[in-house]
Amino acid sequence: MNQNSLSPELLQKAVHSLPEDNLSNMRLEAADRFSNMGFPVKGSEDWKYTDLSQIADLTSQWLNGSMQENAVDRENHNTKIVKSVTDSIDAHWIVVRDGVIDSDITEPHGTTIKKISAVNKKIVTGNDAMSVFNAALLRDGIHITAATPLKKPIGILYIDGPSSVITQNRAIIEIEEECQLQLVECCLSAGIGKQFTNTVTDFLIAAEASVNYVRIQDRDFEHTSVNRVNALLEKNTIFNHNGFDLGGALTRNDIVTEIAGKDALVNLNGLYLASAEQHIDNHTNIIHTVGPSTSTEEYRGILSGDSQCVFNGRVFVAEGADGTDSNQYNHNLLLSERAEIDTKPELEIYADDVKCAHGATVGQLDESALFYLRSRGLNLEESQRVLTHAFASGTLSKLAVGACYDYLTDLLDNRLELLVGAAG
């Protein structure tokens, strides 16, 4: 038990209030486990810089039933958001509101999309506290099996609240042999107010298959989210990931990829834009169980105001995983003297024939480039904006799903405008 624990009785009560279905046993078991774990405590090994104590408090209040619902014109908001996203990104969309999956799912040819409760398979719950918490309070999740490549990506749109304060999202995505899947995930808020969303996504990538996955998080500035992605790669597979974190008060991402087959390739790319008091924490973990295999990673961050960001990139090369080739970079642009980045590579290598490179940079805008632009007639603010865009544009050039390029460019343009305007 720790100070971030919940009352076991209240947690049980909340689990029992969910409808009886295939997931009931999983929930009860997970609730039991979570009661012994509690939320991660700041300062513990994986949570050195990120503090979930407010989330523990918020969850307790919510379980107590003492939370006021944040009043907002939900219906109207939801419709607008859904329309703006689905109009901009051409995809087969699945909409999930407050952890509840919209019923009108159409399955593209060769792909099955079902609720997890409707799939007769045992759900594997991870061992970390947040995955266990997710399993305890999960209403339902999405189960996708991709057997045939589609022209358009599949899209998952997670819209939160404000009718639900604490939300669990879960997606399990199986990609069958030789299939290619494009997936776009958008995480947005339908209202303002304190909320917490906990999402777990699993990718099971069978031999010769590939996944191109773009995740865009642009939630409300009071929102907290914890997000875990697990990818398991069999032989000769590719997992391309682009994460974009623009919103949220506190955001924590854990991207865990395990290379279990030879000649697999993992590309993890991320961009985080933080201003005011935002906190964005990216933990990645690339496990090379076998070699030869390759992983590349590039995360870029732009920080202004009093924001704080964390990058922790672990690369693990198991004994015998010879021929592993891995490189990892984290570049940060600080637009304010008060912004803080804690960046740490973590290499654990137990094989002999391995190439691993890593590097991290933290800096301000290049003064000579600023002066060069000003000497051509661009004013100071415009020059700052141009250089900040240039810094961010590196991640767009590696975008794994082309269909969301325009949407992202607009989103980034607007956000960078604010960031440069609020710098200092």
Residues making contact with other proteins (CB under 8 A): 366, 368-369, 371-380, 382-383, 386-387, 389-391, 393-394
Instruction: Determine phi and psi for 11, rounding to 5 degrees.
Output: -65, -45
Preceding peptide of 19 cis, ω within 30°: no
Secondary structure (H, E, C), the chain: CCCCCCCHHHHHHHHHCCCCCCCHHHHHHHHHHHHHHCCCCCCCHHHCCCCCHHHHHHHHHHHHCCCCCCCCCHHHHHHHHHHHHHHHCCCEEEEEECCEECCCCCCCCCEEEEEHHHCCCCCCCCCCHHHHHHHHHCCCCEEEEECCCCCCCEEEEEEECCCCCEEEEEEEEEECCCCEEEEEEEEEECCCCCEEEEEEEEEEECCCCEEEEEEEEECCCCEEEEEEEEEEECCCCEEEEEEEECCCCEEEEEEEEEECCCCCEEEEEEEEEECCCCEEEEEEEEEECCCCEEEEEEEEEEECCCCEEEEEEEEEECCCCCCEEEEEEEEEEECCCCCEEEEEEEEEECCCCEEEEEEEEEECCCHHHHHHHHCCCCCHHHHHHHHHHHHHHHHHCCCCCHHHHHHHHHHHHHHHHHHHHCCC
> In the complex with other proteins, which residue's Cβ is closer, 142 or 303?
303
Give 221 or 372: the residue with its C-beta nearer to other proteins: 372
Work out how close the CB of 80 gets to other proteins at its nearest, in angstroms, rounded to a whole number. 32
Between 265 and 362, CB nearer to other proteins? 362
Question: Which of residues 265 and 386 has its CB atom nearest to other proteins in the complex?
Answer: 386
Q: Which is nearer to other proteins, 352 or 366 (CB)?
A: 366
d(CA 203, CA 87): 27
Smallest separation, CB 367 to other proteins (Å): 8
Q: How far is the CB of 384 from other proteins (least distance, A)?
A: 12
In the complex, least distance from residue 366 CB atom to other proteins, rounded to whole angstroms: 8
Smallest separation (angstroms) from other proteins to the CB of 297: 19
* Region class of 82: left (phi > 0), else alpha (psi between -120 and 50), else beta: alpha
Contact indicator for 334, 301 with CB cutoff of 8 Å = no
CB nearer other proteins, residue 324 or residue 383: 383
CB 190 within 8 A of CB 161: yes
Q: Closest separation between CB of residue 22 and other proteins, Å?
A: 50
Q: Kindly state the smallest distance separating residue 329's Cβ from other proteins, in Å.
A: 14
Q: 86 vs 393, which CB is nearer to other proteins?
A: 393
Query: How far apart, in whole angstroms, are the C-alpha atoms of residue 251 and residue 91?
Result: 26
Which of 341, 373 has the CB closer to other proteins? 373
Instruction: Give the residue with the Cβ less far from other proteins, 166 or 373.
Output: 373
Question: What angle, rounded to 10 degrees, do the helices at 8-16 and 129-137 form?
Answer: 40
* Residue 387 vs 423, nearer CB to other proteins: 387
- Minimum distance from residue 412 beta carbon to other proteins (Å): 13
For residue 392, the minimal CB distance to other proteins (Å) is 8
Minimum distance from CB of 280 to other proteins (Å)?
22
Nearer to other proteins, 204 or 392 (CB): 392
- Least separation in angstroms between CB 389 and other proteins: 7
> Any idea of the CA torsion for 90, 415, 247, 241, to the nearest 10 degrees?
50
